[in-house]
Chain A
């Protein structure tokens, strides 16, 4: 696929923290883009179908870039990093792997649009904060990719924020379902905000800022948004109910997703795409 800017030799002391950070970035975008693709043809209206599939395509492009950076560090080729890793090897946040709702996209899908917009908005904002920090990363190839991803993310964030605010202000069933979705997303949002067991090393090597700094920044930016729609959210609402994906803890939802998305790849892993 695409080669990013030239590699620089990497200190072996930095490498474990750097690869963990890259796996988190890649796996987060990869699985959320997959969940987004399952919505194709099922979004509330046709314009949304165009928008959501475009966002999912961008996001998959971001995952491919992060996998490429890993590949350049000797972690294997991009296709196998995306398709051939077991759930226990994945470092994505559990929140991002959860199914869109009951049913299957080929039949009887009863997906929850409220969950989709809340998950995507909260995640996009956290990703934006992380990328702004990564623009100053000591690992130059990552800083360069972050600058590029950030420009595309701008439109995603705008899109999801619009949905969340409008549905929150709509009242009635919309409001009830949105509040339920916000509860569900926050119950696992710590899994998105945490950077795993090597977070301290990541900050020490100036790969990214401290986990706590990024978390407080997210809360700071979200506060006026929550206030504008008359919702009270406190830091204590943010939890990690279904496990810590950063250390390979995952749900059965991820196993199911992986077996579906790797079905074609697994028929012939040596085939060229």
Chain B
């Protein structure tokens, strides 16, 4: 029961840089462990040099402490299993689009190429501007249909 309460609270912890999506929908929450009045949350970082991790840790502690149910809240970042972009939930994909970021492509061809649709107009007529973007997990693309630049979440898989 308490695990359910904790999970609901974690839905309120948003990505500090994409405030429409929660860390649950990003697929970062690997495990919630409740023992008595203590809760341990194990999170998977998306990218290792991500400067948002410490903010996420503080926000998780704050959100779970707020309920007044848990006396002790512990957050651990773990690396196994590694976070991969297919962990983003269906709801998460919708939330990313709402923010103007194309969700990570589900399919990468053998040559390493991938395609995403424009999050604004839905067109498939898009080009890659820069594999690297304003944060470690995003690339910059351009839509040739509606002529908007946009960002996409990079595909990340253990096959790479």
Contact = CB atoms under 8 A, between A and B. Distances in A.
Given A50-B140, A147-B158, A158-B131, A3 B49 contact: no
Q: How large is the interface on B (under 10, 10 to 19, 20 to 34, 35 or more residues)?
A: 20 to 34
Instruction: Among B51, B136, B154, find the residue whose CB has the most chain A CB atoms closer than 10 A.
Output: B136
Contact of B47 (A145, A150, A152, A159): A152
- If over half of B's interface residues share one DSSP class (helix, strand or loop), that class is named, otherwise mixed; here it is loop
A57 interface: yes
Contact of B130 (A3, A47, A60, A145): A47
A55 B132 contact: yes
A148 B156 CA distance: 10
Interface of B: 45, 47-51, 53-54, 76-80, 82-84, 112, 129-136, 140, 154, 156-158, 160
Given A148-B48, A151-B82, A151-B156, 9 more contacts: A2-B77, A4-B77, A5-B80, A47-B129, A47-B140, A50-B140, A51-B132, A154-B160, A155-B131
Contacts of B76: 3
Given A50-B132, A54-B136, A60-B49, A151 B78 contact: no
Interface string A39-80: 000000001001100110111111011000000000000000
Given A3-B77, A5-B80, A147-B82, A65 B132 contact: no
A50 B51 CA distance: 16
A46 to B, nearest CB: 9
Interface of A: 1-5, 47, 50-51, 54-55, 57-62, 64-65, 144-145, 147-152, 154-155, 158-159
- Is chain A's interface secondary structure helix, strand, loop, or mixed overall? helix
A50 B82 CA distance: 25
A187 B132 CA distance: 31
Contacts of B134: 50
A159 B112 contact: no
Contact of B154 (A5, A149, A155): A155
Given A57-B136, A154-B160, A64 B49 contact: yes
Contacts of B112: 154, 158
A51 B157 contact: no
Nearest to A150: B160
B122 to A, nearest CB: 25
A148 B79 contact: yes
A2 B83 CA distance: 15
B21 to A, nearest CB: 20
A58 B45 CA distance: 12
Nearest to B77: A2
Given A61-B48, A151-B82, A2 B160 contact: no
Given A2-B77, A3-B76, A152 B132 contact: no
A50 B49 CA distance: 15
Contacts of A51: 130-132
